[in-house]
Amino acid sequence: DQQVKQNSPSLSVQEGRISILNCDYTNSMFDYFLWYKKYPAEGPTFLISISSIKDKNEDGRFTVFLNKSAKHLSLHIVPSQPGDSAVYFCAANGDGGATNKLIFGTGTLLAVQP
């Protein structure tokens, strides 16, 4: 029962262009979403988050969009840089911080070509 889905296992983008990573969820109780970035042989590192009361959150080159009616969120990276090449995980929380338990998607491998 996969509650958070990232249907694209990989994405290749040219340097300078926009990268769009997608994530779908099934549990309407989720009210907080996070994106993590992971390099090989390292742990995931937090990138950006969004609360369900918002539909957009921006931090520099990274913007997360949330469409609650579609149970869909996306991460936009613009402009993409070779150093952005990594696996990106979408994660969700639905207990208001009671446990901070995160439900992760399976990740999307982003390759930014120079």
Partner 1 sequence: DTAVSQTPKYLVTQMGNDKSIKCEQNLGHDTMYWYKQDSKKFLKIMFSYNNKELIINETVPNRFSPKSPDKAHLNLHINSLELGDSAVYFCASSQARGAVTEAFFGQGTRLTVV
Binding site for partner 1 (CB under 8 A): 31-32, 34, 36, 41-46, 49, 51, 89, 93, 96-104, 106-107
Please report how close the Cβ of residue 110 comes to partner 1 at its closest, in angstroms: 14
Give the Cα separation of 71 and 58 in Å (integer).
Answer: 19
28, 26, 66, 33: which is closest to 48 by C-alpha? 33
- Residue 17 or 39: the one with the smaller Cβ distance to partner 1 is 39
Closer residue to partner 1, CB minimum distance, 19 or 93 = 93
DSSP 77: E
Q: Cβ closer to partner 1: 15 or 109?
A: 109
- Quickly count: other Cβ atoms within 10 Å of residue 91's Cβ: 21
Which residue stretches of 1-114 are H helix? none
In angstroms, give the least distance from the CB of 114 to partner 1: 26
Instruction: Supply the minimum distance, in Å, between the C-beta of residue 16 and partner 1.
Output: 28
Taking the least distance from each CB to partner 1, the nearer of 78 and 103 is 103
Element (H, E) at 41: none
